[in-house]
């Protein structure tokens, strides 16, 4: 891992699927260390595909991606030691208890059995699920499952955390709890790369924002710069309109 570089570097990234659908098109981005970087865009704009490429689940068609100096697709085993990932609408091992699920995932993240269990119990207390730790996941509510999936991404104390719509489908209270926790994590120096549809979340916690549409980067700025121009929704609409006219 190389120091003094952006933790996430994306250069001319393109992803075209076998059916010739272009999900990402010549996208370039850099994300410095220790910030919350937000990704905003309409449905089908390529946010999830970008996230999946960054965590090494999807192979880019062309272009370069580096996470902490390593290419995630080629060196996924190395990169995955330093990152955490919360997928969008994650599935769950419904027949496992919350504690068993976290201990299992912890061991797969490189912790030994007792370390994984200890870390799992700490995180369950931190997120407020300690009373449910021995219950099967299938008995959890949607919000509890999302909280469980969220803390699963923190088991290895990641340097970079990828969150794909971390508050999707949650009630206001559960959403608030997760946003609070995200802010707490950044205080430790973790870089967060998150996608969301909720402008209010972005205004509250994000430092930098990138807007993408049809797999292309439309605009990237600090949230202060967006705020200076008025409300975020207008800035978002303007950015999308401008690109559509150009195309």
Partner 1 sequence: MYLPILFREELKSLVCSRRFLFSLTLIFLPAAIGAWFSHMLYHYPSIIARMTGGWLTQVNPQICTMVYLDVAPLPIALVAIIHASDFIAGERSRRTLSFLASKPVARGEILLGKYLSFLLIFLLLITLNMSLFAISLAILRIGQIPGRIFLSYTVSLFCTGIVYVSICTLFSVLTTRTLVAILAGFLLLITWYIFDWMILYLPQGTVQILEKFSLSYYINRVVGYISNSKAFLFLGGDLSLKVNLRDFLESSMVIFGLLGIFPLVIAAIILRKQDIHGH
What is the contact surface with partner 1 in residues (CB under 8 A)?
A: 48, 52, 55-59, 76-78, 80-81, 83, 85, 87-93, 95-96, 104-105, 107-110, 152, 164
Minimum distance from residue 84 beta carbon to partner 1 (Å): 8
CA distance 242 to 245: 5
Minimum distance from residue 75 beta carbon to partner 1 (Å): 10
| Beta-carbon count within 10 A of 218 CB | 21
Please say which residue, 34 or 90, places its beta carbon nearer to partner 1.
90
CA distance 188 to 157: 10
Minimum distance from residue 149 beta carbon to partner 1 (Å): 8
Q: How far is CA 43 from CA 23, 193, 214, in A?
A: 12, 18, 9
Minimum distance from residue 209 beta carbon to partner 1 (Å): 23
Please say which residue, 55 or 68, places its beta carbon nearer to partner 1.
55
Minimum distance from residue 220 beta carbon to partner 1 (Å): 25
CA distance 110 to 116: 9
CA distance 138 to 203: 34
CA distance 25 to 131: 46
How would you write 52-65 as a 3-class SS string? HHHCCCCCCCEEEE
Minimum distance from residue 41 beta carbon to partner 1 (Å): 15
Please say which residue, 28 or 89, places its beta carbon nearer to partner 1.
89
Q: Residue 244, class by beta-carbon neighbours within 10 Å (0-12 exposed, 13-18 middle, 19+ buried)?
A: exposed
| Beta-carbon count within 10 A of 87 CB | 17
Specify the DSSP element, H or E, that contains 227: helix 223-228
Please say which residue, 11 or 136, places its beta carbon nearer to partner 1.
136
Minimum distance from residue 109 beta carbon to partner 1 (Å): 6
Please say which residue, 86 or 232, places its beta carbon nearer to partner 1.
86
Please say which residue, 165 or 219, places its beta carbon nearer to partner 1.
165
Find residue 212's DSSP bridge partners. 217
CA 114 centroid distance within chain: 28
Please say which residue, 71 or 203, places its beta carbon nearer to partner 1.
71
């Amino acid at each position: 891992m190389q120091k003094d570089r952006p933790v996430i570097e994306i250069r001319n990234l393109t992803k075209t699927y076998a059916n010739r659908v272009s999900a990402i098109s010549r996208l370039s981005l850099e994300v410095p260390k220790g910030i919350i970087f937000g990704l905003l865009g309409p449905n089908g704009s390529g946010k999830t595909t970008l996230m999946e490429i960054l965590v090494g689940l999807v192979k880019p068609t062309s272009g370069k991606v580096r996470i902490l100096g390593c290419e995630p697709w080629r060196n996924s085993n190395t990169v995955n030691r330093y990152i955490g990932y919360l997928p969008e609408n994650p599935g769950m091992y419904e027949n496992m208890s919350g504690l068993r699920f976290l201990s299992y995932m912890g061991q797969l993240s490189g912790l030994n059995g007792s370390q994984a269990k200890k870390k799992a119990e700490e995180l369950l207390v931190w997120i407020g699920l300690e009373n449910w730790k021995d219950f099967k996941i299938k008995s959890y509510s949607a919000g509890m499952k999302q909280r469980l999936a969220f803390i699963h991404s923190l088991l290895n104390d990641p340097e970079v955390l990828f969150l794909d719509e971390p508050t999707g489908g949650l009630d206001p209270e559960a959403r608030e709890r997760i946003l609070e926790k995200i802010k707490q994590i950044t205080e430790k120096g973790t870089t967060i790369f998150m996608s969301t549809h909720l402008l209010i979340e972005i205004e509250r916690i994000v430092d930098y924002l990138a807007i993408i549409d049809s797999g292309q980067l439309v605009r990237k700025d600090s949230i202060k710069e967006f705020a200076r121009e008025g409300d975020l929704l207008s800035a978002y609409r303007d950015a999308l309109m401008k690109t559509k006219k150009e195309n």
